[in-house]
Amino acid sequence: MAKQVYDHKWRKLSETIRHMTPYCEDCRDEGVITTAEDMRLDVDHIIPIEVDPSLKYDTSNLRVRCIRHHSIKTVRENSHCLDSNLRKPKQWWMSDEWDSDEEQEAPV
């Protein structure tokens, strides 16, 4: 069974970060203040966990984002490959079919 990505330690850290920064940092950069009363706020990994697991709890790798900005960032991260046949399947990091050290064709 795969290890749970968002464990108790993560949930507590996420709660603390959202308490310290109770607004979307991306909205603030655009001159707007969006709080949890306006829309859901997530604590997002700037460098994804699957890219560098050692940064999972590193506060310098975390940013508070509203669901809109979090979605925009996720789409950008996933759009590096426009051909859907070449994309790794959802939750590829949990699959034995994908070896991160070797380039492989996407399973059909």
> Which structural domain range is residue 30 located in?
8-77
Of 31, 91, 28, 20, give the one whose Cα is nearest residue 65: 28
Residue 58 domain flag: yes
Q: Give a yes or no: residue 90 inside a domain.
A: no
Per the listing, tokens 């051909």 go with 83
Q: Report pLDDT digits (tens) over 63-84.
A: 999 999 999 998 888 876 554 5
User: Three-class SS of residue 12?
Assistant: helix
Kindly report the backbone phi and psi dihedral angles of residue 38, in degrees, each rounded to the nearest multiple of 5, phi listed first. Answer: -85, -45
Could you tell me if residue 3 is inside a domain? no
Neighbours of 62 (CB within 10 A): 20
Structural domain total, the chain: 1
Identify the pLDDT of residue 77: 82
106 is a domain residue: no
Q: Is residue 46 part of a domain?
A: yes
Cβ proximity of 46 and 63 under 8 Å? yes
Query: Would you state the pLDDT for residue 79?
Result: 76
pLDDT at 35 over 50: yes
Identify whether 44 is part of a domain. Answer: yes
